[in-house]
Amino acid sequence: MLSCSLKRELEMKLTENRVDTLIDTLNDLICDEQSITREQRENLIKTVATLGGLKERLRLISAEKEARQIAKNEKVKKPREPDLVFPRTGKPWLPEDLDVIHSIIDDIPDDRIDDHILWLSKQQGRTPYAVALKIVGVGRMDDEWAKAWKPAAKSLREDYAKLHPAPSSDISQE
């Protein structure tokens, strides 16, 4: 019996081909009547039966993964709607973006960074939470601090919606 630590060291991906090879090897041992005892043969037969079940399970798992991948590929991805409040959401950060953040936060104490998040968010066209995560990424604050900025984007979007109501889709007929 392998210990857990030894098993981790010998860890290899279990595939149908490897199970097939193992079954073939065990079948060869089972057929060689002179090398093993009757009791050993019976144990090997049980092992081969177990491996047969494992092979079927691996086949089913593989088929499920393949079906999920096909479904994922066939799924029509809807285009991202532009975010009028935070237009750069989802776009890669540029070095210039980070330079602006650094130019503000590098010279102020941690307890004053909060005072600049909303301004940086507006300048960057990104959510306050995204800006906060960048600040966490440079080691100035922690994740808990950044999480406090998550609700700010929703609030800003609601405020924007109040000031800029969406055009009505109803066309009035005269």
Does 107 lie in the same domain as 61?
no
For the whole model, what pTM was predicted? Answer: 0.52
Of the candidates 74, 108, 143, which is a domain's last residue?
A: 74
57 part of a folded domain: yes
Domain count, the chain: 2
51 part of a folded domain: yes
In one letter, which amino acid is 108? I
Residue 35 pLDDT level (bands cut at 50, 70, 90)? confident
142 part of a folded domain: yes
Average pLDDT over residues 64-84: 86
Residue 65 pLDDT level (bands cut at 50, 70, 90)? very high
Predicted confidence at residue 83, as pLDDT, reads: 82
Instruction: Name which residue leads in pLDDT, 169 or 140.
Output: 140
7 part of a folded domain: no
Does 50 lie in the same domain as 104?
no
Classified as helix, coil or strand, 3 is coil
In one letter, which amino acid is 34? Q
Does 114 lie in the same domain as 61?
no
The residue segments making up the domain with residue 133 are 95-163
Query: Which token pair is 13?
Result: 């991906």
Burial bucket for residue 101 (CB in 10 Å: 0-12, 13-18, 19+): buried
The answer to whether 23 and 48 are in contact (CB under 8 A) is: yes
87 part of a folded domain: no
Does 107 lie in the same domain as 65?
no
For 76-107, what is each residue's pLDDT tens digit?
A: 878 878 888 899 988 899 999 999 999 988 88
Predicted confidence at residue 170, as pLDDT, reads: 46
- Look-up of token digits 């981790």: 8
Residue 64 pLDDT level (bands cut at 50, 70, 90)? very high
* Residue 166 in this model has a pLDDT that exceeds 80: no
Q: What angle do CA 163, 156, 105 make, to 5 degrees?
A: 135
Rounded percentage of the chain residues whose pLDDT exceeds 90: 43
Q: What is the CB neighbour count within 10 angstroms for residue 95?
A: 6
What are the DSSP calls for 75-109, one per residue? SPPPPPPP-SSSTTTTSPPPHHHHHHHHHHHTTS-
19 part of a folded domain: yes
Rounded percentage of the chain residues whose pLDDT exceeds 70: 88
81 part of a folded domain: no
* Residue 120 in this model has a pLDDT that exceeds 80: yes
- Look-up of token digits 């700010």: 152
What DSSP element (H or E) covers 131? helix 128-137
Average pLDDT over residues 119-128: 92
Predicted confidence at residue 119, as pLDDT, reads: 92
